[in-house]
Amino acid sequence: MPTPPFGVMLVNLGTPDAPTPQAVRRYLAQFLWDKRVVDAPRPLWWLILHGIILRIRPGRVAKAYQSVWTEEGSPLMAIGRRQQQALIQTLAERHGQAIPVELAMTYGNPSLKEAGLKLRDAGVERILVLPLYPQFSRSTTAAIFDGLARALKPCPHLPELRFIRDYHDHPGYIEALAARVREHWSAHPGERGKLIMSYHGIPKRYADRGDPYFRHCEETSRKLAQALGLDEGAWMMTFQSRFGREEWLKPYTDETLKTLAKEGVEHVDIISPAFAADCLETLEELQVENRDYFLEAGGKTYRYISALNDRPDHIALLADLVEQHTKGW
């Protein structure tokens, strides 16, 4: 079998191994201890994390995971595996030979180390790291960079690496999002709702210190609105999933939905361009929790537009990114 010219490491955030308090506790302990995610002083944060958060939060989060868990397991993992297999097939068709693609998670399993070892066993000497985060943030994409560096540290022989930082304004990404929204509108003719583009939030001080995430979200939103031909008043950008007491990026999704309903907005469609795959934050938080907020405040119609997942146009975009960033290999 010929040596592959390169391999791809497809990386997402991660998921518990099971929807149980014990598995969620292990996952949160790793996730929330990362200084890229929470940069509080370590001794104080250790006491808060292990003394309070990991005692209270796992049970509640486990119940939320149970509500979205499938026969295939975590939605994020199941969709990630489908994305991996579809990308393998697409790259093989384009290159005329098998290109190894391994799925990895920054936290939990399969780990970055495990994925790297599988690529090594496949004879890969060059690795393209493709984070499934369209918009860059220190708390997501940069955390992958750190984790991969730690995983490679003990290796006596390092592969050649290339790292995709973001693709927030890539034409293929914008068009895939626009196509998904158009399909949603076609499936629900009649009253078209105000389009809410909800992104996972980050602490505001991260952006104040130079994290480009807010700017990337703005650019994605603006380009998607242009592709859909939306007037300024027909859409808006919000931020969800805040954690803790400090100020995060605003406007907040949940508070915005309540306000819109009270102001007389009866119909909303909501999509989250920050997520490449549906997960707890979309299937439970956006599809269920925020729907309740809007309807209880007086709204009439609330429709969630699913993530790009393993749609053919999304896989084609990922393959385009791979080809763009592996030129010369």
Query: What is the distance between the alpha carbons of residues 276 and 314, in angstroms, rounded to a whole number?
Result: 9
Instruction: Please report the pLDDT score of residue 318 as a whole number.
Output: 98
Percent of the chain with pLDDT over 70: 100
Q: What local confidence, expressed as pLDDT, does residue 190 receive?
A: 81
Q: What pLDDT does 2 receive?
A: 82
Q: Taking the CA atoms of 228, 230, 236 and 237 in sequence, report the sign of the dihedral they define.
A: positive
200 among the known binding-site residues?
yes
Q: Which two tokens stand for residue 134?
A: 């369209």
Long-range contacts of 206-212 (CB under 8 A, 24+ apart): 206/137, 206/138, 206/139, 207/249, 211/136, 211/137, 211/138, 211/139, 212/136, 212/137
Q: What is the DSSP letter of 132?
A: S
pLDDT in tens, the chain (329 residues): 689 999 999 999 999 999 999 999 999 999 999 999 999 999 999 999 999 999 999 999 999 999 999 999 999 999 999 999 999 999 999 999 999 999 999 999 999 999 999 999 999 999 999 999 999 999 999 999 999 999 999 998 899 999 999 999 999 999 999 999 999 999 998 878 999 999 999 999 999 999 999 999 999 999 999 999 999 999 999 999 999 899 999 999 999 999 999 999 999 999 999 999 999 999 999 999 999 999 999 999 999 999 999 999 999 999 999 999 999 99
CATH topology of domain 171-305: Rossmann fold (3.40.50)
pTM (global) more than 0.95 = yes
Residues 143-185 pLDDT 10s: 999 999 999 999 988 999 999 999 999 999 999 999 999 999 9
- As given in the structure block, the two tokens for residue 82 are 């489908």
Q: Is 289 annotated as a binding residue?
A: no
First to last CA, the chain: 18
- Domains in the chain: boundaries: 17-68, 171-305
Among 219, 175, 227, which residue's Cα sits nearest to residue 199?
219
What is the pLDDT, as a whole number, of residue 12? 98
**Ramachandran quadrant class, 73 (left: phi over 0; alpha: psi -120 to 50; beta: rest):** left
Q: Which amino acid is present at 120?
A: R
